[in-house]
Amino acid sequence: MHELSVAQHLIELACEAAEREQAARVCKLTVKIGALAAIVKESLQFSFELVAEGTLCAGAELEIIELPLVVRCTACDADQTLTDVLNFACPACYAPCSEIVSGQELDLVSMEIDDREIDEYAAADC
């Protein structure tokens, strides 16, 4: 349910950046969401479309790149990707791993925009 708040923050950021870039509209946003970020992808997509209405992001595509959970195994002295987020144990040596390297991301990576100068035909291609 908090995906709505996340979508609001996302669109605010994107619209600010789009204004700064003097964009006619935002075509696409790319975000990275960690496996442990507590985000339901479908809920974020739905909220995004809803909040984007009437903004520069209206109709924009939201690309969600899902990042796996990576922890540090001090016993192996290596980073390990965990497929099971409910078991923080090294897949190689089974030692408990408490240090999260990545997997909590909620990042806006990039956006694709149409510039203001272009004509309506070009904008329709986007």
Partner 1 sequence: MPPRIVELRTKILKKNDELARAMRADFVGAGLFATNVVSSPGSGKTELLTKTLAALRKTHRVAAVVGDLATDNDARRLAASGAPARQILTGAMCHLEAEMVRGALAEWTLSDYDFLFIENVGNLVCPTSWDLGEAFRVMLMSVTEGEDKPLKYPSLINTVDAVVISKIDLAAAVEFDLPLALKNIQQVRPGVDVMTLSAKTGEGLTEWLAYLALRRAEFIGLLPQTSPAASPV
Total residues belonging to the chain: 126
Among 91, 115, 120, 124, binds partner 1 (CB under 8 A): 115
Among 49, 64, 76, 112, binds partner 1 (CB under 8 A): 112
Q: Does 97 bind partner 1 (CB under 8 A)?
A: yes
- Are the C-beta atoms of 34 and 106 separated by less than 8 Å? yes
- Are the C-beta atoms of 66 and 109 separated by less than 8 Å? no
Among 36, 64, 70, 76, binds partner 1 (CB under 8 A): 36
Using the structure block, give the residue that is written with the tokens 């004509």. Answer: 119
Q: Residue 9 contacts by C-beta under 8 Å, 6 or more apart in sequence?
A: none
Among 15, 28, 64, 76, binds partner 1 (CB under 8 A): 28
Q: Does 66 bind partner 1 (CB under 8 A)?
A: no
Q: CA-CA distances (angstroms) from residue 66 to 14, 34, 115?
A: 19, 6, 29
Q: Does 22 bind partner 1 (CB under 8 A)?
A: no
What tokens does 118 get? 């272009």
Using the structure block, give the residue that is written with the tokens 């809803």. Answer: 50
Q: Does 31 bind partner 1 (CB under 8 A)?
A: yes
The contact set with partner 1 (CB under 8 A) reads 1-2, 5-6, 9-10, 12-14, 17, 21, 23, 27-28, 31, 34, 36-38, 85-89, 96-98, 100, 102, 104-115, 118, 122, 125-126
